[in-house]
Structures are given as structure tokens and as C-alpha cells.
Chains A and B, each alone.
Chain A
């Protein structure tokens, strides 16, 4: 058994003194774990950082074996944001979410493409919008997608400002007025692929929305909580909202 592909590092755990078990996300293979011999060494530690894009070769005698990776750096995406607290938090959060919600050995090309676009754009301005949209896409890929096409109650396609926590469907301002305390706010930038968030509060609202459904479908259902890195990321953005607002 063997495959070669470009892959993003999503998590790395120490295994023994010198090796690590890396979890890589590739477009064609999905999230795959494997042993990297000497992965804790000086020369390989820098390569095996979450968020880095590698050329990976996975080999095992039988498919059900853990297997071993040999990796070569393609792009050091993590190093580009190490000095930027919020961007680094976004990278850690995205990688930790991938490592904890994606099933192993199941291809999710949409999630991989979205994550690569997000990580490549982390040094640029539009990264918060990309982050929220990536999580919305991730929910869709996992089978828990939000339906933002029309109002769940009236079928209206405009003035959609809420999401029903039960169905994950959009609700219009008029239909949701009476239940607004029980509905989740839907930030407008999620309605069109070309729209960008203009306020941090919109990003926080988007992350609360995706966090609610990630918790419900991917974490709480399995008796887990979302990764601390995601909670810290949302908290840090929230603090910025309180400072600016």
C-alpha cells in the first residue's frame, strides 16, 4: 500500500523519543495518520508544523496498518503567521477542527481546497471571512450543511437574517421576529460567495453560528468539546469586538 500526494499537516503527536505520529489532510486521500520516523528531530520538527503544505508519501504493508510517512516541505505556511497572534490562532483552530471532526481515510476535497485557500490567504486581509466560510463548507461536507437559500417559514429569498437552530435553515426578518430570542443571527456575508465581512462582529456571529452546529453534530454528540484553540480564537475576536465596539 502506498500513495503520494500533497497534504496539509493538521496535527502532530510525539511518539517515543524521536518519532511523531502526524495526521495529514490530502485532497485525494482525506485525513491520514502515519508514523514519521525521526519526526521529532531538529531537521524535521520545522517541517511537521500544523498548517504546513508537504509532499507526503504514505506506505504500509497492509491498508489497515498505521503506516509511515516520508515528507518534504512544499510551503511553510505556518511560518508566515507565527508573529501574528490572531492569524496564528486561526491556523491552530482550523487545523485542530480538521483533526477532530474529519473522519480518517475519507476524502473531503472541498474541505482540503478550502483549508489550503484559507491558509494561503492568512497573511492577507480577507482571512476572517474565508475562515467562517470554510467552516460553513466543512459543515456541509460533513452532511450538516446550512440551508441559506430561502426562508424556512415563508420561502422568501430576501431579508434572511436568522438561522433556525433546529433545522439549520435560514429565516427571514419578518418570519423570525416573534422567535428572534431563540434563533441564531445570520451574518449577511454568508449569503453570497462574493461577499466579505466588514465588521469583526459579523465574523464573531459567523463563528458562533458554525460553532453551534459543530458542537451539536461533531462534538457534543460524541461526548467531546470543541478544541481549546477554537474557543480561544473566538474569545480573542470577541475581545476585539468589545474593544472596538
Chain B
């Protein structure tokens, strides 16, 4: 029989993505065995994150400062804004280090069935930000799904009244992708978006 505190920890850990009750138990056992080397640093890190992380009031990124490091970075091109669904997408683009502009995190996509409306997303703040920063280009880096593209078209439609140039990420053959293994949808989009070589 397990102690109530351990049981609570297992329950809390099993709520995390990628962990179920079984793997949570393994994690707890591992942490208990390495109390000084792993459990204490983990507690400190969690406390640090809990106390210091906040959502950037400008772009919706998470950072220890508000505005976040990306928004206040003087090396960034303030005239470019890349719109992403989630902070995870922002991190993915940052890993590539190809985009040197600013970001705007929407917080999801429009969805009729899940009841996500434009007012539930950070769309009004995007539009006012584009006006305030006099942005020259907005890059819509949204998923190639029906909901993602519906959101992209919605934003493009609302930005049509401003002089900003609206672009979207290309959809097509991934690097290392073999045509034989690609799904029909990706292939047809790639064929339609072909370009001169």
C-alpha cells in the first residue's frame, strides 16, 4: 500500500501529456530514489517557473519577462509579424532560426464544433498590433488543416483593409519526403503550388 502523498504525486504526474498512471509511478519511484540529485532540482525548477513565467502581453509568448525576450530584442525586425497557433509553434520556428521578425500567438484556431470564435483568439490584438507597428508583412504560419486555413483566411480578410502584405507558409513536399509515401492531399497542394526552377 502506497503513502497518500506518493499517491497524490502519481495522480498529478499522470495528468501530464505523455504520462499515464503506470509511467507516472515509474517517474515517482525514480524521483524518490534520486531525491537529492533529481527531486530537489525539479522542485526548484517548478517553483521558479511557477513564480516567474508570465504570458507576454504583446505577443502571447511565455517568458520570465513581460514583454518577452523576442518582443524587446532590438535585433528583431519589427515590421515582420509571424502569426502562430500556439507557443509550441513559436518555439519550433525559433529552432530553425530563419525568421528574425516578431511573433503573435493566436491561442488556437477557429472551430465551429468546439465553439472557438474569433473573439476567443488573439485576433483583435493582432490587428491593432499591425497598425501600431506599421508592419509591412504578416506571415500566417498556421496548420494546413481545415480549421487552420479557415483561421488564416479570416485573418487575411481582416488585414485586407490595412496596407500590410499578408503571406502564408508554403504547403507541399517535406524535406526528405518521397513522393510515393506522400498522402494525396499534400501531393495535390504541392502540385498546385509548383514553381519555376
Contact = CB atoms under 8 A, between A and B. Distances in A.
Interface of B: 17-18, 110, 112-115, 117, 144-146, 149-150, 153-154, 156-157, 171, 183-186, 188-189, 192
Contacts of B115: 228
A170 interface: no
A88 B188 contact: no
14 contacts: A17-B18, A46-B186, A51-B146, A78-B146, A80-B188, A85-B157, A88-B150, A91-B146, A92-B146, A93-B112, A96-B112, A227-B113, A228-B117, A229-B112
Interface in A85-120: 85, 88-89, 91-93, 95-96, 99-100
Nearest to B156: A85
A47 B183 contact: yes
A96 B113 contact: yes
A181 interface: no
B150 A229 contact: yes
Given A17-B18, A46-B186, A88-B149, A82 B113 contact: no
A79 B150 contact: no
Given A17-B18, A49-B185, A73-B183, A82 B146 contact: yes
Contact of B146 (A50, A99, A227): A50
A13 interface: yes
Given A17-B18, A85-B157, A79 B112 contact: no
A76 interface: yes
Interface in A106-147: none
A50 B184 CA distance: 15
A46 B143 CA distance: 10
Q: Which of B112, B117, B153 has the most CB of A within 10 A?
A: B112
Interface residues of A, number: 34
B113 A11 contact: yes
A82 to B, nearest CB: 5
A76 B17 contact: no
Contact of A88 (B17, B146, B171, B184): B146
Contacts of B145: 45, 49
Contacts of A75: 184
A232 interface: yes
A221 interface: no
Interface string A224-243: 00011110100010000000
A79 B157 contact: no
A45 B186 CA distance: 12
A85 B159 CA distance: 14
A192 interface: no
Nearest to B192: A83
A13 B171 CA distance: 24
A46 B110 CA distance: 17
A31 B189 CA distance: 29
B110 A228 contact: yes
Contacts of A228: 110, 112, 115, 117
A232 B119 CA distance: 13
B146 A76 contact: no
A91 B18 CA distance: 33
A11 B145 CA distance: 12
Contacts of A93: 112
B194 to A, nearest CB: 13
Q: Which of B115, B145, B146, B188 has the most CB of A within 10 A?
A: B146
B17 A17 contact: yes
A49 B153 contact: no
A183 B54 CA distance: 55
B154 A232 contact: yes
